[in-house]
């Protein structure tokens, strides 16, 4: 198969970079890069919850995902008037589920934490980058909560995600766009920092795969997410 981005091996992530020195009023904000893929993740706190949750004394986490017009070539049409395409809806629901999986909502208080993930450049893995960066933005935002200052963090664990796939018969970690469009099998895996699965999305692209290939892909994903979890911890320790 052709050489990979920066000649990385089959089980190596793309360069992962996090920048928090960005403008904005959100309580938590990061710009994450997986190779050429770049996603701006912000987390904002609202002192109220959706009407159907009012009075329960517990909080809520929601997420929105959007690919900005300049993130792809040709230009992607902007989503307007509340109209969100099916792909964006599915991805933002995945992000929300992933983040809620590691939060004790009762410790969040009766407030909403909204995480927005805006793709600045898309080169594969935008949903997994959004989850990984969304967690960092959320972790920064909860530091402003009274409960956090009292040592009662609502975060029970971290969460990260990565793509894996089979290209030309070879299992690969963290596919870029060139690899993703050629993959016989494409999979997105979400896991906690303690190594528990949150979600596995896997499909054969006009192909099938066996149990051995599935195990190989999951092993690659576990390796990648363990590394991402370590990098998340290092980033948050600095702040």
Inside any domain, residue 2: no
Inside any domain, residue 210: yes
**Strand 185-192 with 197-204, pairing:** antiparallel
d(CA 184, CA 204) in angstroms, rounded, equals: 6
Domain that holds residue 215: 10-238
Residue 120 above 60 pLDDT? yes
Inside any domain, residue 30: yes
Inside any domain, residue 124: yes
Average pLDDT, the chain: 92
Residue 1 above 60 pLDDT? no
Number of domains in the chain: 1
**pLDDT classification of 2: cutoffs 50, 70, 90:** low
Inside any domain, residue 5: no
Inside any domain, residue 1: no
pLDDT in tens, 66-108: 998 888 888 888 776 567 789 899 999 999 999 999 999 998 8
Q: List the CATH number of the domain containing 70.
A: 3.30.230.70
- In sequence order, the 6+-apart residues with CB closer than 8 A to the CB of 51 are none
Residue 72 has a pLDDT of 81
DSSP for 58-123, please give it. Answer: --EEEEEEEE-GGGSSSPPPPP-TT---HHHHHHHHHHHHHHHTTB-HHHH-S-EEEEEEEEEE-S
Residue 185 has a pLDDT of 97
**pLDDT classification of 43: cutoffs 50, 70, 90:** very high
pLDDT in tens, 197-234: 999 999 998 899 999 999 999 999 999 999 999 999 99
Inside any domain, residue 4: no
Inside any domain, residue 3: no
């Amino acid at each position: 198969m052709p050489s990979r981005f920066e000649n990385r091996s089959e089980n190596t992530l793309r360069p992962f970079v996090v920048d928090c020195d960005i403008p904005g009023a959100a309580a938590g904000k990061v710009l994450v890069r997986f190779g050429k893929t770049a996603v701006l993740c912000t987390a904002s706190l609202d002192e109220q919850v959706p009407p159907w949750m009012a009075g329960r004394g517990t909080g809520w986490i929601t997420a929105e995902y959007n690919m900005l017009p300049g993130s792809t070539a040709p230009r992607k049409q902007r989503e307007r008037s509340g109209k969100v395409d099916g792909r964006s809806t599915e991805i933002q629901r995945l992000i929300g589920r992933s983040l809620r999986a590691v939060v004790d909502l009762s410790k969040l208080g009766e407030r909403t934490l909204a995480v927005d993930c805006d793709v600045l450049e898309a080169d594969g893995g935008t949903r997994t980058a959004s989850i990984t960066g969304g967690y960092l933005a959320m972790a920064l935002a909860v530091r402003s909560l009274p409960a956090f200052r009292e040592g009662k963090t609502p975060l029970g664990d971290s969460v990260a995600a990565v793509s894996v796939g089979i290209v030309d018969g070879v299992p690969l970690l963290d596919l870029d766009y060139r690899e993703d469009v050629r993959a016989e099998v494409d999979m997105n895996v979400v896991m906690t920092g303690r190594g528990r699965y949150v979600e596995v999305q896997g499909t054969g692209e006009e192909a099938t795969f066996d149990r051995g290939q599935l195990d190989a892909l999951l092993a690659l994903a576990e390796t990648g997410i363990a590394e991402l979890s370590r990098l998340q911890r290092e980033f948050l320790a600095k702040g």
